[in-house]
Structure 1
Amino acid sequence: MSETSARLLALLSLLQARRDWPGALLAERLEVSPRTVRRDVDRLRDLGYPVRASKGPDGGYRLDAGADLPPLLFDDDQAIAVAVALQTATTTVTGIEEGALRALATVRQVMPARLRQRVDALQVTTVDRWAGSARTKVDSEILIAVGTAVRAREVLRFDYASPGAESGEWVPPRKVEPHHLVTWGGRWYLVGWDLERKDWRTFRVDRMRPKSPAGPRFTPRDLPAPDVATYISSRFSSQPRWACRGEAILQAKAADIAGWAGREAVVEELTPTSCRLILPGWSWTGLAAAFGMFECDLEFVGPPELKAAAAQLAARYTAAAS
């Protein structure tokens, strides 16, 4: 890709990322002069992208939406993120599986060959549809390195930070036959056969630092479970698993709710003054009571057992208050 084309793609990516960009800030991010930014904006306009400029000392640029907007362009990190999101959506979002698969096929088809190979290396298994609110950030290059080793069936060597290690402290290199890349509870895990310990292990990818080059190819072993989802679920079975999960819409700011909802809760902002809350509980009655602790109006979304428990609880409280 030529330097100009790469810069245009980077500029378009930045314009898509936020509504308004001061010209000086764009020049700083692209490491070019404001004059070069103006020329590149003109090139985008010639391609049909509606970039609006604002005048004045704080003048900047905005990419307007429009029916005639040409197809969106993605840089490498964005394309990989879209492909992974579509792949995991097939198992984490009910009702859109077929559409997500067709969208993934479309995105993959228009990718350059070098990028298509990297995306193909990321074969992700998503376990636990009701993941908690915790999310762990993982470097995309590390995901690619691990996914490539899984797909190529090559021994993976990596430094690993154990859970109790201090920040920046890494244990000696591990040698593992990588088998599956898995998401569970908002985190990425590698399932593999540890060659030194001669046993199956799971490794958090955000604690891995792959080493190059990869080791020799290997013949995949059979998992000690019918499938990777069953294996991962059994590995984490010692962690408390809630008997019930319910969902409600709260007329309150997401930030206010998140501070009191607990680590296991999922809080999603819907509007500046409302949010979606998913809570776990040991019983439906206890779960209904937990939703009631927030001092705001709310609407139960489901499941039906939660609504029934809320009605029973309301009748019990009404009788107690009278």
Structure 2
Amino acid sequence: MKFYALMLAAAPIIIAISTRYRFGLAILLGLSIIPHLAHPLWAHLEPLPTVFGQDYLSFPASFLYGGAAGAGGPSILHGLFLVIYGMWLGRTANDLLNGDGSRRNKARHALFIGIVLSTLISAGLWNWQAPYGTVRAISDMSLRNLNHPLYYALGTCAMTVAAWAALEFYDVQQKQYARFITFIGSSSLFTFSFGNIILILAPRVTTDPLFTLVYGLALLAVVVIMSLMFRWALDRGAQQRQSGEFGLAARFQSAQGEIVAGIHRAVLKPSQIYAKMLQSISQKPSARYVVDTSR
């Protein structure tokens, strides 16, 4: 969560650069790639000095740039790429959904190029001499904790493919097939928090690759079923309350609503100030100031 908190704090700067300048987002995207290009250099940085005989600096340093052991990944500098790429993906998705024929074609070409580039980079970074070793490094989070470029290349490819497929299938073509899986998006915060709890509590098992795969799929199924039950309980509770019933699902939905309302009241004022600040920053100077030429 500390990563997201710092990204929100840096959001005004990112938004200002990306909206005020014509190529602002492209510049930010290019700058965010530099830490990944410098990957071989991070491991050769000198160890940080101790403070009063204690190693207090390694953890914040690893959180900032991944150059030391401690915080794992993604670091601030490395993870910034995914944030800015997500902004680019959002703009491209907007062109695909709301643009004219020319803008839609350009959006599709851009998404295709993004998939091809990320696939080629992933293939180039993959260890083909020991391909399963790379799979294991992905599954045990070694690549993530090392802030390895392959982790981000694979994530970029998967994110682009999933976003493009969903946009084309559900938004452009208005298909209804398997639309029930959209519960994953509406309960993503619940899935993130309680899914992590399940994965942390799950016993570590060291066994053959096949059983490891089955064990991983079983844990994934537990997380998905839990999220589906959560979404169903909220929807069922809302239906019960509308019909005048007050069963178990309605009580659960009411309690969840009270918790959310309490959080909303607690953060309402700061969030309004933050929203106004982002709105002011995102406007170009020409849009914020109107010159009176009548005098």
TM-score bucket of the superposed structures, by smaller chain = under 0.3
Q: What is the TM-score when the length of structure 2 is the normalising length?
A: 0.25
Q: What is the TM-score when the length of structure 1 is the normalising length?
A: 0.23
Q: Larger C-alpha radius of gyration, 1 or 2? A: 1
Higher helix share: 2
Higher strand share: 1
Q: Give the structure, 1 or 2, with the largest relative contact order (CA under 8 Å, sep 6 or more).
A: 2
